[in-house]
Amino acid sequence: MAADRTSPAVAETTSEYRPPSAVAGRAAGWIAAVILLSAFAAHAYWLAGGGPAGSDFKPLLPPLLVAALAVTLTLGAAVLLLTRIGVIALSMPPWLLRIGPWALSVIYALVAFQSLFATITRSGQDARALLDFLGPLFLLLAGLCMIVAGSDLPGRRAR
């Protein structure tokens, strides 16, 4: 029967036809997107005037416009990765889906190394936070974005 046959488009996207790099790319994309969306939620909350519980939170940096731009770019990075792995169906240029994750991995790696070198000139609790949390987090994001960038686009077979 014609109804029993699977269309080529559906067959290419089922898990039995998905190459291993696409599976790894999807997993890495999901992990990176969860990290970025968590960062987006925390920064949006802080931007709205909230802060850590039990403290008089007064943001030192940055001005409102720069903070809003950083929050927007964090959300944009998460949306780009989710679109790249095929979770969100947005119309984006193919070159952006190919180059975007590579650009994110370079940016996150540079930020990770910058936070590592910033601990040399800083001391105290801020330096410990950079070295113990932010540096490894950005390095993890860089690696996850590299995995996503190297994976096959959804619906395409590995060559």
Residue pair 64/47 in contact (Cβ under 8 Å)? The answer is yes
Q: Give the Å distances, CA to CA, from 132 to 6, 7, 34, 65.
A: 50, 50, 20, 28
Domain-embedded: residue 32 = yes
Domain-embedded: residue 11 = no
For the chain, the domain total comes to 1
- 73 or 66, higher pLDDT: 73
Domain-embedded: residue 7 = no
59 has a pLDDT exceeding 60: no
Give residue-wise pLDDT tens across range 3-44.
Answer: 433 333 444 445 555 666 788 889 999 999 999 999 888 878
Domain-embedded: residue 47 = yes
Copy the structure tokens of residue 139: 């390095």
State the pLDDT at residue 134: 80
90 has a pLDDT exceeding 90: no
Domain-embedded: residue 82 = yes
- State pTM to two decimals: 0.73
How far apart CA 122 and CA 19 sit, in angstroms, is: 46
Domain residues for 84? Answer: 19-51+58-150
Domain-embedded: residue 10 = no
Q: Give the Å distances, CA to CA, from 82 to 16, 105, 149.
A: 21, 15, 12
60 has a pLDDT exceeding 90: no
